Amino acid sequence: MRDVFVMGVGMIRFGKFPEVWMEELGRQAILGAVKDAGIDPKKLMVAYCGHSHQGRVAGQRALKQAGISGIEVVNVENACAGGSTSFRQAYLSVAGGLYDMALAVGMEKVGGGLLPPNPEDLDGLQGRVLPGHYAMKAVRHMYEYGTTPEQLAMVSVKSHKNASLNPLAQYQESVTLDQVLGSRMVADPLTLLQCCPTGDGAAAAILCSRKEAEQSGRPLIRVAGSVVRSGNFVGAGEDILASPLTRETSQNAYEMASVGPQDVDVCECHDAFTIGEILHYENLGFCPRGEGGRLIQDGATEITGTIPVNPSGGLLSKGHPLGATGIAQVVEIVRQLRGEAEKRQVETPRVGLTHTMGGAIPGLEAGACAVHIFVRD
């Protein structure tokens, strides 16, 4: 397997754009990545397009708007992990020597509001939607480890503060602890400002071989680890706070990259709900089980902390356009490792990690988990 590098990244501001077609969102992100890489788009010979609700041949439609045709295009559906999975496929195509350069793009246009469950999802049809599922996790974490409502809310405060420094975030205003706790209750104890918004957005990344990366003159950001896994079977009596999927996926990625959680300088994780981020601290290995609440309270995950998490604002504030999210995480980590994150720049990071979850399926822990690790060489 060859070394693979990220040569260029691009994304649009996330939000709600009822007047803009999905193809236009994708076009802007793709051309942004092409410009960042400084290449002729004709050098792209394969593209992987991650999305969840965009219908048939979505990638071809977006690439057409970007002036790119006559190449291999693969559309990737993997729920919220669609973008991350498209990145994984692009990585494999370059690592295996099939192509010297590949495009990974994630895009979604879903507006806002709750996404309806699949007709086959009996749990969802009976009311066990994701906010309720995560609320149960929050209540259990509070019961077992003494995690407080204030600690949960601190995640949202941090995310909104970071997003206020990110011109591409959907919500760019800071909030106070009282505002988070006082916002409308969605599923006790999770209030509105503790649940991520859906919306519209697109992000893209161009991956390449070492030769192409060195010729570009850009900082060398190597993809040191890339793992995607499906969820494990679960049954009655399972520990709802355990996440073997995230633990195993991240452990595989750490081993592939020859690093450990203690080496990660900056992380973008799947904070669909505040309790989700706290659990991810634990399951990604940043702290022992049960100590996620204390980690956020101690300021360790702030931009200036020992393990900055979601400096972009995360899903909670940057927004969550499903298929675009995983690539947007890559965009943030690449810019952090290059030193291009401006006001939200983490101090001299060398190792970055992205983590995305996708899909809720009764009987499985989740549909998919993707973890990518990046190193500045």
Catalytic residues: 80, 320
Token pair recorded at residue 358: 């996708």
For residues 172, 178, 180, 184, the Cα torsion angle rounded to the nearest 10 degrees is -120
Token pair recorded at residue 304: 């200036």
Sign of CA pseudo-dihedral 27, 30, 32, 37: negative
How far apart (Å, rounded) are the C-alpha atoms in residues 153 and 296? 10
Work out whether strand 185-187 and strand 101-109 pair parallel, antiparallel, or are unpaired.
unpaired
Work out whether strand 4-11 and strand 200-209 pair parallel, antiparallel, or are unpaired.
antiparallel
Token pair recorded at residue 146: 């003494």
Residue 23: count other Cβ atoms within 10 Å of its Cβ: 20
Bridge partners of 118, per DSSP, are none
Backbone angles phi, psi at 370, to 5 degrees: -125, 130
DSSP string covering 3-36: -EEEEEEEEPPPB--TTS-HHHHHHHHHHHHHHH
Sign of CA pseudo-dihedral 252, 74, 111, 129: negative
106 within 8 A of 53, measured Cβ to Cβ: no
5 within 8 A of 223, measured Cβ to Cβ: yes
